[in-house]
Amino acid sequence: MTQDPNPHEALASIQAARSSVGRSMDYPVWYDALYGAVCGLLVASQGLPTLWGLIVLPIALGGLAFMVTSWRKRLGWWVSGYSPKRARWVAFGLLAVFFGLIGLSLYGRYVGPWWLFIVSGVIGFVVAIAASRLWMRVWLKELAEAPQ
Amino acid sequence: MSAVPVFDPVIHAPGRLQICAILSGVDDAEFALIRDRIGVSDSVLSKHIKQLEEAGYVALTKAPFDGRQRTWVGLTAKGKTAFAAHVAELTRLAATVAQTV
């Protein structure tokens, strides 16, 4: 390819370069499990007594920081869940579910039964892993197509 | 909203086009990853990145990892706009070429 505009070649080159980012996706299973645990803890902590909430919250946030650092170190790139145009809708959907689960935890805390935070935490764990995998599929598809 | 097609000679050079393409899919990427993906030397990549930086299209950050500094590169808002406009122009040109063939 030269400086002269050869649009087809240039567009193909862009597509190939974007797809090449998704080639390095060999992240370990524990990453999914840790992400689910962090999200589960974040939603469940709202249903815990204040003292326990204050203990659990930094643990969850620490886990999140560890995940971001290890991902960057391992793969050499980072993309936030809310950056890609199409995949971000999966992240917004997950956020909406989390708000619902936080509401469930708070309901259990102030109205009862007390164990609702366990239910919201488990649901948060499962939904976070499923949404994370779905987000990744949508994003990889987005990468393989021409940028908008 | 789709970008207004504008041909950008700073972005269009093959190496810089690939750099922008990689960065368009992520928030930021490490210097070494970009180098390996586009298959150029450190010095060639530095030169390309310097030109993009001078145009205000990329921003560099340095972060320590395992006791050494690593450079991370990300598209700026201006860079994202310029790249989108350039891709729109390439798409327009490709459609024009297809019509004339």
**Per-residue confidence (pLDDT) for residue A126, from 0 to 100:** 97
**Per-residue confidence (pLDDT) for residue A147, from 0 to 100:** 67
**Per-residue confidence (pLDDT) for residue A25, from 0 to 100:** 73
Q: Provide CATH code, domain B9-92.
A: 1.10.10.10
Q: Which residue in B24, B65, B97 is closest to A7 by CB distance?
A: B97
Q: What are the boundaries of each domain within chain B?
A: 9-92
Task: Say how far apart CA B38 and CA A20 lie, in whole Å.
Answer: 9
Burial class of A111 by CB neighbour count within 10 A (0 to 12, 13 to 18, 19+): exposed
The three-state secondary structure class of A136 is: helix
When comparing pLDDT for B69 and B97, which is higher? B69
**Per-residue confidence (pLDDT) for residue B101, from 0 to 100:** 59
**pLDDT tens, position by position, for chain A (148 residues)?**
445 558 899 999 999 999 888 876 777 888 899 999 999 999 999 999 889 888 998 999 999 999 999 999 888 999 999 999 899 999 999 999 999 999 999 999 999 899 999 999 999 999 999 999 999 999 999 988 866 5
For testing contact with chain A, the best of B6, B16, B22, B101 (most A CBs within 10 A): B22
Burial class of B25 by CB neighbour count within 10 A (0 to 12, 13 to 18, 19+): buried
Q: What are the boundaries of each domain within chain A?
A: 27-144
Q: What is the ipTM of this complex?
A: 0.89
Contact call for B29 and A15, based on CB within 8 A: no
When comparing pLDDT for A69 and B2, which is higher? A69
- Write out pLDDT tens, residues B6-61: 999 999 998 999 999 999 999 999 999 999 999 999 999 999 999 999 999 999 99
**Per-residue confidence (pLDDT) for residue A2, from 0 to 100:** 44
Alpha-helical regions (H) of chain A: 7-21, 29-44, 50-75, 88-110, 116-144
